[in-house]
Structure 1
Amino acid sequence: MSKRLLLLSNSTNIGEEYLLYPRQEIKKFLGSSVNKIVFIPFAAVTSTYQQYTEKVEKVFQDIGYEVDAIHLVENPYELIKNAEAVVVGGGNTFHLIHCLYQSQLFEDIRNKISTGTPYIGWSAGSNVACPTIKTSNDMPIIEPISFQGLNLVPFQINPHYTNAVIQNHNGETREQRLEEFLILNPDIYVVGLPEGTMLKIEDSSIKLIGNKPIYLFKFGEEKQEYYPNDNLDFLLKRASSA
């Protein structure tokens, strides 16, 4: 099946306006065939869904797209069924997937995206596109029915990835946390996606966009760096051969 995904590490770089760095890539990705997007604000916790929607709506209207928010309609199933594009914002990944299961929209969204409807996600919205949400950075503030993600890609993403080591801090680094995941999940790749970068997936092609490398982790293998001109298609081909 054809898939079109734009998976961002984060919404906003330090010192920039909200969703500034990805705006042109979002516009190129959606193109002129999309007039309106369906926005899913379920990752919001410290702000209301309405506050979150208004923030996102301003950006998308600025680049030429109308917004329908999933929480405002009487029939969300019909909204997903007729969606021209689906956008899932960041926040808390556990709250996001809990609400997707609770609303019974999980399978509808997955089926819709799997038939070619464009999907954009950032942070938690990228996490939930993976086979599971187990490589989230978030605290499990709520217990979802399952950790199983939408499985739109056959690899895991760790958004906001950093290899920074905090001086005089004894907690685990991000890389150590991912090593723990890989020991228990040795057959799957994890993409460490630094802030300011995104992955664009179209059918069997995947492209890194941004000015930083991504880091690829696999059990028993050395961490690898990949740059925007590198071929990453093998990450998707694993799905068809598995």
Structure 2
Amino acid sequence: MKKALIASTSTVFGGTFLDYLLPTITEHFASVSNLVFIPFARPGGITHDEYTEKVKPFFKQLNIEVKGIHQFENPIEAIQNAEAIFTGGGNTFVLVDMLYKYNLLDAIQKAVESGTPYLGTSAGSNICGLTMNTTNDMPIVYPPSFRTLGLVSFNLNPHYLDPIDGSQHMGETRETRIKEFHQYNPQSVLGLREGSWLEVLGNKITLKGDLPARLFQQGKEPIEIETRTDLSNLK
């Protein structure tokens, strides 16, 4: 049974790394003792080793040992044998480019579809949608394709920001960018605000966290989706 947590962010304002998700992750990885971490998104350009070391202390408190995917001689085999997978945030273009470079996209998809627990934050959540086209990141590299894992049947926009009343910023809002996306693409886009996540259990998808999400659908006005809403039929 597919089992995934798709979180907008790893760290909420005033918190520490993944602390707001601690009870949820504890339950999600209850039977896990080893985890494969995918550090390819490299936030701020840190190394894969530095990113992996940053992740380890959180999981140590859960008695889960972390090893970075870059530390395996055979990355595909590592995914196939993984007890659990965590893909961290950073730049989605870099992440997807590396997943294609090592032929890992299909391996991750098959593993998660077969029941390997998955956790994604930020860029690691972007790749759970049908494509990565609704990322907020700069295209600093050019992946072979924008197709991603398709763990949910729509696209995601983690770190979704609402327009600020009275702001003098003259650039496009997140809502404007997503409307541009819908001029060329039919799938729905779910804007996940900070501290929100999706829980995927089999074919059931539920919005979790304290805040509503913003749903964009082609040809329709965006609407608010309340937490605990079942999104299993969203496309």
SS for the counterpart of 2:19 is: coil
Q: Which residue of 2 aligns with 1:35?
A: 33
Where do residues 1-242 of structure 1 align in structure 2 (5 Å cutoff)? 2-31=1-30, 33-45=31-43, 46-165=45-164, 167-186=167-186, 188-235=187-234, 238=235
How much has 1:92 moved relative to structure 2? 0.2
Counterpart residue type for residue 64 of structure 2: Y
Q: Is the 8 A contact 2:208 2:228 kept in 1?
A: no
How far does the alpha carbon of each residue in 1:163-185 deviate from its partner, in whole angstroms, 9 at most, with x for none? 13372221100000000011211
Which ranges of 4 or more aligned residues in structure 1 deviate by more than 4 Å? none
Distance between the aligned counterparts of 1:190 and 1:198, measured in 2? 14
How much has 1:64 moved relative to structure 2? 2.3
Distance between the aligned counterparts of 2:211 and 2:201, measured in 1? 21
Counterpart residue type for residue 233 of structure 1: S
Aligned residues: 233
- Structure 1 residue runs without a partner (length 5+): none
- Provide closer, same or farther for how the CA distance between residues 231 and 152 of structure 1 changes in structure 2, counting only shifts above 3 A: closer
- Structure 2 residue runs without a partner (length 5+): none
Q: What is the RMSD computed on CA atoms of the aligned residues?
A: 1.3
Distance between the aligned counterparts of 1:189 and 1:197, measured in 2? 18
Counterpart residue type for residue 44 of structure 1: R
How far does the alpha carbon of each residue in 1:182-241 deviate from its partner, in whole angstroms, 9 at most, with x for none? 12112x111000000100010121122111001111011121211223332222xx5xxx
Distance between the aligned counterparts of 1:47 and 1:143, measured in 2? 19
How far does the alpha carbon of each residue in 1:65-119 deviate from its partner, in whole angstroms, 9 at most, with x for none? 1112111121222211111111100000000000000112222111111211111
Distance between the aligned counterparts of 1:64 and 1:202, measured in 2? 23
How much has 1:136 moved relative to structure 2? 0.1
Q: Is the 8 A contact 2:87 2:124 kept in 1?
A: yes
Q: % of aligned pairs identical?
A: 45
Distance between the aligned counterparts of 1:153 and 1:34, measured in 2? 23
Distance between the aligned counterparts of 1:83 and 1:148, measured in 2? 23
The farther-off stretch of 86-95 and 160-169 is: 160-169
- Provide closer, same or farther for how the CA distance between residues 109 and 231 of structure 1 changes in structure 2, counting only shifts above 3 A: closer
Q: Is the 8 A contact 1:12 1:21 kept in 2?
A: yes
Distance between the aligned counterparts of 2:138 and 2:27, measured in 1? 34
Q: Is the 8 A contact 1:23 1:63 kept in 2?
A: no
Q: Is the 8 A contact 1:200 1:209 kept in 2?
A: yes
